[in-house]
Structure 1
Amino acid sequence: MSQAREVIQSLYDAFGRGDAGFVLGLMADDIHWMEAEGSPMASGNPYASPQQVGEGVFGRLLSVFDDFAAVPSEILAEGDRVVAFGRYSGVHKESGEKLDAPFVHSWTLDGETITAFQQYTDTEQHVRLMG
């Protein structure tokens, strides 16, 4: 397994445990984080620090959804690039409606540090549930 793939697998594992400190600690201070076009969270694009990602992305998601998860089904790596295919899930706190959306995440690393992220997902579900 490549080092880059191991780093991204550890990120998803930590996210699943709710270890935000570990996840944010993997990010470069000047990360270039892009949410999918059309997503409610794309209004902050590009997020340019771990703090901005934590507040503008993770904080917003966790304020709207219970049991939010991003679970990869396949992770591919080539050099410093990693692509993960998976699904988002969660339960909208107010309506009880379930989120079940596919995603593709593209990651760029410098050693063990994440320098860039691009999300691709079904933004219609996010818009419908998050407004």
Structure 2
Amino acid sequence: MKTLEGKLKRASENRAIIDGLYKAFAEGDIPTVLGMMDSTIVWNEAEGNAYADSNPYIGPDAVLNGVFGRIGAEHAYFNLKDIVLHEMFNDKVLATLRYDGKHNNGNSYDAQVAHFWTLKDGKVIAFQQYVDTKKLHDAFSK
């Protein structure tokens, strides 16, 4: 797929995969989300984020236990909103979005976010989060 047409097709396919991942996450279908990850995914939370304490998370189980499980346990609610997917070449997808959450301490937040995804053969092999970590820190503090 070295032609421009092939690259455009691959970019569109990758965008559709990430779109499906976000839709599954919105429905709470975490097994589907994890199934879209390669067994050796390298997942990095933004530096300064409380969940970056174990970066990098290697493999879907590490993401489940180190990120998703902690978010679920520490939040009254956590939603992704205003998701815009940007097709890129080289098996990358950029998502710009917002986190709408309420920490169990009662503090709510609405934070600006970017997710940088890398795919290979239809599976996510890498993830990098960028987020307003000050806003999260303020919300997570009592």
TM-score when normalising by structure 1: 0.93
Residue type of the alignment partner of 1:82: V
Gapped regions of structure 2 (runs ≥ 5)? 1-8
C-alpha deviations, 1:41-100, integer Å up to 9, x for none?
A: 1111000010000110111111111221123431011231000000001112232x2121
22, 28, 45: which one pairs with 1:35?
Answer: 45
Whether the 8 Å contact between 1:12 and 1:71 is mirrored in structure 2 is no
2:70 aligns with one of 38, 52, 60: 60
CA contact (8 A) 2:75 2:102 kept: yes
Instruction: Mark the runs of 5 or more structure 1 residues left unpaired by the alignment.
Output: none
Q: 2:104 aligns with which of 90, 93, 96?
A: 93
Pair member with larger Rg: 2
More divergent stretch after superposition (59-68 vs 7-16): 59-68
| Counterpart for residue 121 of structure 1 | 131
Give the % identical residues.
Answer: 39
Shift, 1:127, TM fit: 2.0
Number of residues paired by the alignment?
130
Deviations 1:88-125 (A, max 9, x none): 01112232x21210100000001210000000001112
| Secondary structure in structure 2 of the residue aligned to 1:18 | coil
CA distance in 2, matches of 1:116, 1:84: 14
Q: Which has the higher contact order (CA 8 A, sep 6+)?
A: 1
Q: Distance in 2 between matches of 1:62 and 1:129?
A: 15
Q: In angstroms, what is the RMSD of aligned CA positions?
A: 1.4
